[in-house]
Amino acid sequence: MRQRNTDSETELEEENQEEESRSLSDEDQMFVVITLRNMVKRERKRGDCMKTKLEKERKAAESAAEEAMAMLRMEKKRWRWRQVNTRESRNRSKSIIKK
């Protein structure tokens, strides 16, 4: 019989603790709300910071791509210039040889 009383007392205590934890006081609820608001603010700031970093990285990548394209265009112009000069010098050589 003693064991049953102890079991029921333990169950009652557990139920009471659950009820207490469920029904937070107004102060506790305000604390939770304030804590959650602060967490949201921190996460927003963190997100904004990440957006800023991402934008910097995007601009750097864009700049590098533009620079690479400019270098390719310049190299293409040089190649064309060499081709034209090579043809002209061949033509000159042929005309000199014919004379």
- pLDDT tens-digit readout, 58-96: 999 999 999 999 999 999 999 989 888 887 777 777 676
75 inside domain: yes
1 inside domain: no
35 inside domain: yes
4 inside domain: no
70 inside domain: yes
What phi-psi label fits residue 62: left (phi over 0), alpha (psi between -120 and 50 degrees) or beta? alpha
* Per-residue pLDDT tens digits for 28-54: 889 999 999 999 999 999 999 999 999
Q: Could you list the residue range(s) of the whole structural domain that residue 43 is in? A: 9-98
As a whole number of angstroms, the longest Cα–Cα distance in the chain is: 132
Tally of structural domains, the chain: 1
Does this model's pTM top 0.85? no
